[in-house]
Amino acid sequence: MISLPDEAELAIRAEGERAYPDECCGALLGGFDGESGKIVKAILPIGNSSETAERFHRFTIGPGDFMRAEREAKARNMDLIGFYHSHPDHPAEPSDYDLEHALPFYSYVIVAVEQGAASGLTSWEMSADRARFLRESQNQGQNLEAPPRTPQGDQSP
């Protein structure tokens, strides 16, 4: 289970909208609670280091980014507990690419960004056999389920 405070969730949504039509990505910093699992306390945006041509659909966190995120977490007395990225115009479900590049234990938060507006947000963890992602429950989950899609043409400012 992961606890994602509204503030962190809003920040991830905003990152996704800012990066659109590219993917955004970043690290989840926080800690552990015996009862509720991971607790996100801060997010750390990471520059998308994929090749420019692929940036719109391939988030990549390089080894340098990874180390920087761990250092940043330590400096704030937190742990690196996962990563987030956006899916521009795709559902908030992990792709095969995501699974290939995932690591066990960490949480992977995905936010769908449709036409520039953040919509569904989900969290995933790798199964023990690394064969698939398991949807991770969230204890402040009122926003975790994909909200009803707004009808096309509703372009609120």
Q: Which residues bind Zn ion (CB under 5 A)?
A: 95, 98
What order of strands is seen across the sheet that includes strand 133-135? 2-3, 37-46, 25-33, 79-88, 107-114, 117-126, 133-135
Residue 37 or 91 having the CB closest to Zn ion: 91
**Closest residue to Zn ion using C-beta atoms:** 98
- Contacts for 4 with CB less than 8 Å, ≥ 6 apart: 40, 109, 123, 138, 140, 144
Q: Quote the least distance from Cβ 154 to Zn ion, whole Å.
A: 26
For residue 85, the minimal CB distance to Zn ion (Å) is 6
Distance between CA atoms of residues 45 and 22, nearest Å: 14
d(CA 29, CA 60): 18
Select 9 or 23, whichever has its Cβ closest to Zn ion: 23
- Whichever of 40 and 83 has its CB closer to Zn ion, that residue is 83
**What H or E segment, with its residue span, contains residue 32?**
strand 25-33
Shortest reach from residue 98's CB to Zn ion, in Å: 4
Q: How far is the CB of 109 from Zn ion (least distance, A)?
A: 10
Cβ-based nearer residue to Zn ion, 91 or 141: 91
